[in-house]
C-alpha cells in the first residue's frame, strides 16, 4: 500500500505507465552489502479506494493519518507479478506472484 500525492512526479508517472517496482533492502549493517539480502517486487500500481484499505494503512502508519485526509492524497497498491531475490552473493532467484502469495500466513 502506498499513500501518494497527486502532485508528486511518481504519481503522475504511474498514471501514464502503471508498471512499478519496490526494493526491499536487508543489507543495513552487513559487513559486505553485496552479500546481504534484497528483493525487488515488480507489478502494477492501482488505486485502492476501498475504506478498509485506508483503515488498514492508518492502523499500520498512524502518523500518516493527517496526510490521508488531504484532498490530493490517495491510496494505491502494488499488485505483484513477480519478485527478484538476491539472498546473498550468487544466490539469486525469480519468484512468480503465485509463489509469493503462497508464502503469506
**Number of neighbouring beta carbons within 10 Å of residue 87:** 14
For residue 44, what are the β-bridge partners? 19, 79
Distance CA 9, CA 11 (A): 5
62, 89 contact by CB (below 8 A): no
Confidence of residue 104 (pLDDT cuts 50, 70, 90): low
Quote the pLDDT of residue 40.
97
Flag whether the pTM goes above 0.85.
no
Give the chain's length: 105
Quote the pLDDT of residue 101.
77
Mean pLDDT over the full length of the chain: 90
Distance CA 3, CA 47 (A): 10
What is the tens place of the pLDDT at every residue in 2-40? 999 999 999 999 999 999 999 999 888 888 888 889 999
Specify the 3-state DSSP secondary structure of 85. Answer: strand
pLDDT of residue 100 exceeding 90: no
Complete domains list, the chain, with CATH: 2-27+34-102 (2.30.110.10)
Amino acid at each position: 500500500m502506498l499513500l501518494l500525492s497527486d502532485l508528486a512526479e511518481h504519481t503522475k508517472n504511474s498514471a501514464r505507465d502503471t508498471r512499478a517496482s519496490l526494493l526491499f533492502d536487508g543489507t543495513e549493517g552487513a559487513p559486505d552489502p553485496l552479500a546481504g539480502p534484497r528483493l525487488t517486487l515488480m507489478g502494477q500500481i492501482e488505486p485502492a479506494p476501498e475504506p478498509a484499505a485506508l483503515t488498514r494503512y492508518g492502523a499500520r502508519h498512524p502518523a500518516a493519518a493527517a496526510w490521508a485526509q488531504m484532498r490530493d492524497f490517495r491510496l494505491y497498491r502494488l499488485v505483484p507479478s513477480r519478485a527478484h531475490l538476491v539472498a546473498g552473493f550468487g544466490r539469486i532467484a525469480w519468484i512468480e506472484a503465485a509463489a509469493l502469495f503462497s508464502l503469506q500466513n
